[in-house]
Amino acid sequence: MRDRVTGATGATGVVSTYFLPRDLHPVAWWVWALGIATAASRTTNPWLLGSMLAVVGYVVVARRGSEPWAMSFRLYVYLGVFIVVMRVLFRVVFGGAEGPTILLRLPEVPLPAWAAGIRLFGDVSAESVLGGLYDGLRLATMVICLGAANALANPKRLLKSMPSALYEVGTAVVVALSVFPQLAESVLRVNRARRLRGSTSTGRRALRSVVIPVLEDALDRSLRLAASMDSRGYGRAGEATPRQRATTGLFMVTGLVGLCVGVYGTLDGTTPAYLGGPMLAVGLVVGMTGFVLAGRRVQRTRYRPDRWHLAEVVTAGSGVLVAVLVLTSSSADPAALTPSLLQLSWPLLAWAPLAAVWVGVLPAFLSPPPVPPHDELDDVPDDRLPTRHHRDHHPSHDRPHGRSHGRDDESVGSRP
What tens digit of pLDDT does each residue of 42-77 get? 888 999 999 999 999 999 999 888 776 777 788 899
The conformational region for residue 413 under phi > 0 = left, psi -120 to 50 = alpha, else beta, is: left
What pLDDT does residue 5 have? Answer: 44
Residues 6+ apart with CB under 8 A from 215: none
Does the pTM exceed 0.75?
no
pLDDT score at 139 = 93
Closest CA to 327 of 267, 277, 259: 267
- Burial class from Cβ neighbours inside 10 Å (0-12, 13-18, 19+) for residue 121 reads middle
Maximum average pLDDT range among 195-204, 232-241, 342-351 = 342-351
In the predicted structure, residue 398 carries a pLDDT above the cut 60: no
State residue 407's pLDDT score: 38
The Cα 207–Cα 205 span in angstroms is: 5
pLDDT tens for 271-329 read 777 777 788 888 888 877 876 776 666 656 555 666 788 888 999 999 999 999 988 88
Tell me which range, 50-64, 158-172, 279-293, 341-355, is most confidently predicted by mean pLDDT: 50-64
